[in-house]
Structure 1
Amino acid sequence: MTTEAMATLCLSGELTNKLEAIARAGFDGVEIFVDDLQSSGLSPRAVGDRCRQLGLTVVALQPFRDVEALPPELQRTMLDEARRHLDTLADLGGDFLLACSSTREEAEDDIDRAVDTLSDLAELAAERNLRVGYEALAWGRHVFDYRDAWETVRQADHPALSIVLDSYHILAQELELETLATIPGDRIGLVQLADSPWPRGQELQSLSRHWRAFPGDGELPIERFMTALERTGYQGPLSLEIFSDSLGVMPTGMAALQGKHALESLLASRT
């Protein structure tokens, strides 16, 4: 049975209220947004305990930014920061860290360097019996296409490293989905779902930060994305990740319920 999850960043309010709303709406899991955790004043262990009390699995801690193809000094800094994130993840009781492609000017356009840095990051995770997922941001400096992210993950070939697929980053760029359908399902660590208005020349980062929508409430071809995903054999979590100004002012419980309804409707349409 697929784990249905929601990222805490989707909702307004304090972290504990978000967790309670996500659980009441009927979700199985939650992605913990680092900013929510830091602003809560709670320890990661306390947050993890609350998730378990509510019956929620921590499916991811996110985001860990700017990870690949960095110069040696910046790579050392990145790995030091990764250790802290991984320790936080362990305290939460989760096992999956979501890492995003780099937006830094210092990042090199060099897949061999990207493979090396991601391998080092994955090894840190493996030492703790944790995992890392790599996501291509649509505004990444060099890696902004899921196909490039997948090639990096494939070449790294580390058991603790997988790819994260986000429907927004893929569909808003109108990327082909034939390659997605060929990715082995067990190499996909997490799938995030979001809709949005059709970009129509809008800057993708701004659109993503303010106008994402629940599946079916926008104009992106989510059904085509799901068809390609089904061909991979993926059996992992499906998580809503919706940055939205409108959700930010909506009552927390109402937004969580709307998200669950949207996800259930999407899944029902696939049967």
Structure 2
Amino acid sequence: MSATSTPAAELGFTACLNPATLSGIPLPRFLTLAAETGFDAVELSIQQVIAHGPQQVRDMLDRHGLRAVAASGILPAGPVLPAPLLIPDEQYADLLQDLPQRLAAFQTLNCPTATIVLNPATTWPRPDALARARTRISQLADAAAPCGVRLAVEAVSVTRGLPPELTGEHLLLTDLPSLARLIEETGRTDVGVLVDSFHWAAAGADRGHITGLGTIPVAHVQIADLPIGITPADAADEMRLFPGDGALPWRTFGQALNKAGYTGPVSVELFNPALRALPVGEIAQRAHHSAVSRWNLPEVTR
């Protein structure tokens, strides 16, 4: 760590590990590695939690001294992956049927945040898609609130290499201010945004995109770095690097989070196939080191 760096822990942030960073390993192994490398917070896939048994997973977390601070899959897509918010109407209606089971799993884990991605583009015309998004955000928030769970909605700003479910001929929204306005239009006071540093960089790394969210809180943060020499327009999720290994302006990012009043988890989320090919222990160690000490955020809290 350089002489002018400030560890993330000193900024009030909690180092967290996203399971995508260690893709393909069993949940018990993921929790063991997270604990062994110094994490005290993790994100989970709620489908995996249900498959293992929520109480059994809660017991594993307790044994390892870990907290489940967020989980994906409030709308699931298979045994691990989450579905985005704007899935086809019939699929969405089907998934609402067993939503209580998933929310009960959140409750058993004492997990406070359900993350979900908002499609940046859809096959529906924009007014129709926005109306669906507002309705579904309100429906999911209504269901989650009695379980002590808050929805954290993520805007996708990268435009290259997106999976089919996030594409369409009609552009919806791709930045945090537009997402905040959408949430404001729902009238909800218990829904926040998920700030992903990589998407923030792909949208231009504008400090005001975080500090200008108005009454909408930052509910969760995921972190990864943008390679040096890559323009925002060329960014793709498979390029994600460990925080501190690229060109992302971490001081600006940290100051903006501080200004927005965020002091929660910062979760390392990588989809880079080259990094995923490293030994899992090395991945977890590098993820923890980058989350804690490689921010280069001098005097960020002033």
**Normalising by structure 1, what TM-score?**
0.84
Asked if 1:90 corresponds to 2:120, the answer is: no
C-alpha distance in 1, partners of 2:46/2:239?
21
Q: Is the 8 A contact 1:96 1:132 kept in 2?
A: yes
Q: Which amino acid aligns with 1:156?
A: T
Q: 2:36 aligns with which of 24, 40, 57?
A: 24
Q: Is the 8 A contact 2:150 2:190 kept in 1?
A: yes
Q: Is the 8 A contact 1:7 1:240 kept in 2?
A: yes
C-alpha distance in 1, partners of 2:41/2:215?
19
The corresponding residue for 2:151 is 132
The corresponding residue for 2:60 is 50
The corresponding residue for 2:142 is 123
Q: Cα–Cα, structure 1 residues 252 and 72, in superposed 2: closer, same or farther, change >3 Å? A: closer
Q: Cα–Cα, structure 1 residues 71 and 19, in superposed 2: closer, same or farther, change >3 Å? A: closer
Q: Which amino acid aligns with 1:14?
A: P
Q: 2:26 aligns with which of 1, 14, 33?
A: 14
Secondary structure of the structure 1 residue equivalent to 2:85: coil
Q: Cα–Cα, structure 1 residues 96 and 155, in superposed 2: closer, same or farther, change >3 Å? A: same
Secondary structure of the structure 1 residue equivalent to 2:43: strand
Secondary structure of the structure 2 residue equivalent to 1:226: helix
Deviation at 1:115, TM superposition (A): 2.0
Q: 2:274 aligns with which of 246, 254, 259?
A: 246
C-alpha distance in 1, partners of 2:106/2:269?
19
Deviation at 1:16, TM superposition (A): 1.4
Q: Cα–Cα, structure 1 residues 128 and 212, in superposed 2: closer, same or farther, change >3 Å? A: same
The corresponding residue for 2:261 is 233
The corresponding residue for 1:169 is 199
Deviation at 1:41, TM superposition (A): 5.4
Q: What are the Cα deviations for residues 27-63 of structure 1, in whole angstroms up to 9, with x where unaligned? A: 120001357x27x952233222211211111011115
**Normalising by structure 2, what TM-score?**
0.76
| Structure 2 counterparts to residues 151-190 of structure 1, below 5 A | 151-174=181-204, 176-183=206-213, 187-190=217-220
**Highest RCO, 1 vs 2 (Cα 8 Å, sep ≥ 6):** 2
Secondary structure of the structure 1 residue equivalent to 2:270: coil
User: What residue ranges of structure 1 are gaps of 5+ in the alignment?
Assistant: none
Q: 1:2 aligns with which of 9, 13, 20?
A: 13
User: What residue ranges of structure 2 are gaps of 5+ in the alignment?
Assistant: 1-11, 74-81, 160-165
C-alpha distance in 2, partners of 1:107/1:143?
13
Secondary structure of the structure 2 residue equivalent to 1:163: strand
Aligned residue pair count: 265
Q: Is the 8 A contact 2:204 2:232 kept in 1?
A: no
The corresponding residue for 1:80 is 97
Q: Cα–Cα, structure 1 residues 175 and 260, in superposed 2: closer, same or farther, change >3 Å? A: closer
Deviation at 1:130, TM superposition (A): 1.5
